[in-house]
Copies of this chain bind each other. A is one copy, B any other.
Amino acid sequence: MKYIQSTGNQSVKNWKKLQTKKGRSRQNKYLLEGWHLVNEAIKANKNILEIMATTTVFEQTSTQNLWPEEIERFEISDEVAHQLSATPSPQGVFATVSLDDELKISPTSATGAWLFLDTIQDPGNVGTMVRTADAAGFSGVVLSQGSVDMYQPKLVRSMQGSQFHIQLVEGDLREWTAAFKKNHFPVFGSELNEQARRYDQVGRHEDFALVMGNEGNGLSQEMLSETSMNLYIPLTGQAESLNVAIAAGILMFKLRA
């Protein structure tokens, strides 16, 4: 096992670069931080390339026994852990996961409940929606082109490992919408418009998609006209709108759970 003390080490520099989209796409992997995510990745049998952990972590032998032997291990100094970490008090355990084996499911073969995210920008919102979709028993989430990159560090933190439970794909939402409609699966849009159907007048569904739009602008007119039906959540107070992740949570649990 290699011990890395200095933050100037080339491996450390490469891991740091995984915080950027360019770095992830060049190295074709992304970074996980913390016990929960690393364990979830192992449980899900993901293609883990490297595990990096501090001396303190390696001394807890019970935990490293759970790590598959074939994964390359690096012992890192606390200084390196701080360098790689996004939090002020890192747990001292990291892993890199290959982006190679990411499932490339086709829109025509998808079944179950799906969440389509149309150009959503905030990584915390996207991550929380993926986690909520997982909790509500959804099959997957499709991010449109022009959305935040799906392995952005803050997004990965907010997902809390849900990317290992459900399918997470980038795709063309028009293509996905067309495929679902061809399969006679309803595609529900969401809008702040009392002309749309009240969300609580729609029952539980098996195979369908729910489309959520951009934080500032909502769903585009183009998407709204391609959906099978548009839903709205009546707001009885004075707030003009709901946070997109909250609206998605209310709709997902109504339609599915």
Contact = CB atoms under 8 A, between A and B. Distances in A.
The quantity of this chain's copies bound in the complex is 2
B239 A135 contact: yes
Contact of A131 (B134, B158, B243): B243
Interface string A149-168: 00000000010111001100
A208 interface: no
Given A233-B253, A245-B246, A249-B249, A238 B134 contact: yes
Contact of A134 (B135, B166, B237, B256): B237
A135 B242 contact: yes
A112 B235 CA distance: 16
B236 A137 contact: yes
A238 B241 CA distance: 29
Contacts of A165: 237-239
Given A236-B257, A239-B165, A246 B137 contact: no
Contacts of A243: 128, 131-132, 158, 245
B128 A239 contact: no
Contacts of A137: 235-237
Nearest to A249: B246
Contacts of A235: 135-137, 257
Given A135-B236, A165-B238, A233-B253, 9 more contacts: A132-B243, A134-B238, A160-B239, A166-B237, A235-B257, A242-B249, A243-B245, A245-B245, A249-B249
Interface of A: 124, 128, 131-138, 158, 160-162, 165-166, 233-243, 245-246, 249-250, 253, 256-257
